[in-house]
Each structure stands twice: as structure tokens, then as C-alpha cells.
Structure 1
Amino acid sequence: MIRSSVSNCPVPIDQQPLNEYEELKASWLFRDCTLNLQEYITTIAWIWGLSWLVAGPVAAASFPPNKYLAHFILCGAAGASVGVVLGLTRLYLGWHYVRDRLYSTTVFYEESGWYDGQTWMKPPEILTRDRLIVTYDIKPILQRLQLTFASLAGLLVIGTIVWHLF
């Protein structure tokens, strides 16, 4: 639902931070961050599984599964993690951009092109509303994404240790 944030706001509707947030929250990829934990992990697992379509053949070419099964699995899992990291990076950057736009006291916008940018100072009530959205809606999403990155890094360390054991 896109709506005008303020009736006297000179910022075009599609460039208003609240509307950017609503658009991001409704988009198919970014809304997955707002799901409950089980659905979120399921989505990440699907991305990882689909990434095996590329990582699996590459790992098999390097480590034939019939000879080096453990190395094949570890190499394929690490390669499939690249797809997850790329997806998570896109999610993090999108949410971080909207967080910065909502949290800022000023809004930079373009009226008709890159050459005529303007800045609008948010009134206190709009700034307060936007910062509450950041605190209660966006900050938990960014923390979830950071925790996911940390978990992937931990799994990579575990995989490296297991690799050296074989």
C-alpha cells in the first residue's frame, strides 16, 4: 500500500522513505526477512539447495564423489553457500538503505532527474514516526540478517576443520 506520507511533502510519492519501506516490505524477496523463524530458515535452505545445482557439478569435477565423498560434500556445501551469501547481501543492502532513509533527518530526492536533486527536512512528527519504524521493524530484520551471516561464517569454520580432519 503506497500512500503519501505528508500532504505538504515535496518529495515524489515513490521516493518518500515510508513508501520505499512499504514497497520493500511487500516485495517477494525482501518480505521473506519478515517471516517467522522457521519459514525464514526454510527459505534460506531452499536458496542453498538451489545453489547446489551450480556448486554440485563443480565440486564433482574437482572431487569425484565415488573417491572423495567427504570432500565433495564439503566443497559443494561451501560453493552452494555463495548463493546464500549473495542473496543475504542483497537483502541486507536493501534493508540498510531504507533504514538510512527513514532514520535521516533529511530526505534527498530527485524531481525529474539526477541533475536537479533537492533535500527536504522532515518535520519532527514524521522523523519520530520514521525512527520508530526503524527501531521496531527494520532493526530486528537487520539483526536477523547479521545473525544469519555469523551462522554461515561459523558453519564455514566448522567445515574447514572437518576438511582438515579428512
Structure 2
Amino acid sequence: MSPYVLELPAGVDVVESTYRFCRKRNMGLCVLNGNGVVANVTLKQPSATPGATVTFHGRFDILSLSATILPAGGSADGNGPFAICLAGPQGQVVGGHVVGPLVSAGTIYLIAATFNSPTFDRLQAAEHEDTEVRDGAHDRHESPHTVSGADSGGAHIYSYQPPDVIWAPTARQPPPPY
């Protein structure tokens, strides 16, 4: 594994640029976090009706950003979205899976780590582990947690599910009298 800091200029699609970077180098990338400002983002929120999306207009600061892009030709199947948490201009916090372009409104920095030749293991529940140890079998399988998403041109992506929480700012309290 190697650490990377990726700098993306204003006006580019962060998701597509990251996919293209990985395809060009035929490598996997785990995006650990990012910072910068994006504009007009469409998200699939975990609590939304399946397939429903919400578009947020304006500029938003990135609070967190994560994704895992597997190298082309990996043994896992499927693509998944980037997970993002954003702060809006009035202090609102929104998050979910990115759907469609994620356009940078200024310079974006992604903190990431690369990996080549990943292996895929299916982890079993505790009651199945005893059977596996007695049998001495250790089978490699593709991960069962693949999420379908936008076309990534051969890259495979796994993503973490953000918490099902959206925080709204609280009203300011008057200062205590002295």
C-alpha cells in the first residue's frame, strides 16, 4: 500500500476523475477522506425510498468522503458510489451516496491509499467458524456486500454505508444574564 494525496482543480467531476486515475494505472484506491467545496450534489440518502434521490443546490464543504475502488479485473463484481457528508451554507449537515457528478467548486484534496492484487474472503458468522476450522477449509469468495452504481469503466467499487442521520442546526440560546 502507498499513501496518496490527490489534488483536483475546480470544475471537475471528483468521482469520474478518481475512477479515471485508477483505470489509467490499473490499481485499487481506498479514499479515506477529502476536503474542499463541491456544488449542486445529488445524493441517495439511506432513509429515502429505494431509488429516490435528493439534489442539494449551492456550495457545500466536504466533511467526509470515502470510497474503495478495486482494480479492473478484480474478482469482485459490481460498482458502488462514493459516500459523502457535507456541510451547507446555513450549517445543515447532509450525507449519503453520491449519484451523478460531484463537481468541485474549488480545489479538492483526497487522502487515499492504493493497493494492488487484493484478495477477497467471505467472512462467516461465529457459528460457522467452528465448522470451517474443523474442516480445514478456507474458501476465497467475492465479497457479498457489492452495491450497484454508475458505470465506472471497469473499476469495481465497494463503499461504506453512512449513518442514517441528518443533523439540523439548533436555535441559538440568549446569553445568560449577569
TM-score, normalized by length of structure 1?
0.25
Q: Which of structures 1 and 2 has the bigger CA Rg? A: 1
TM-score, normalized by length of structure 2?
0.24
Higher relative contact order (CA 8 A, sep 6+): 2
More strand by share: 2
More helix by share: 1
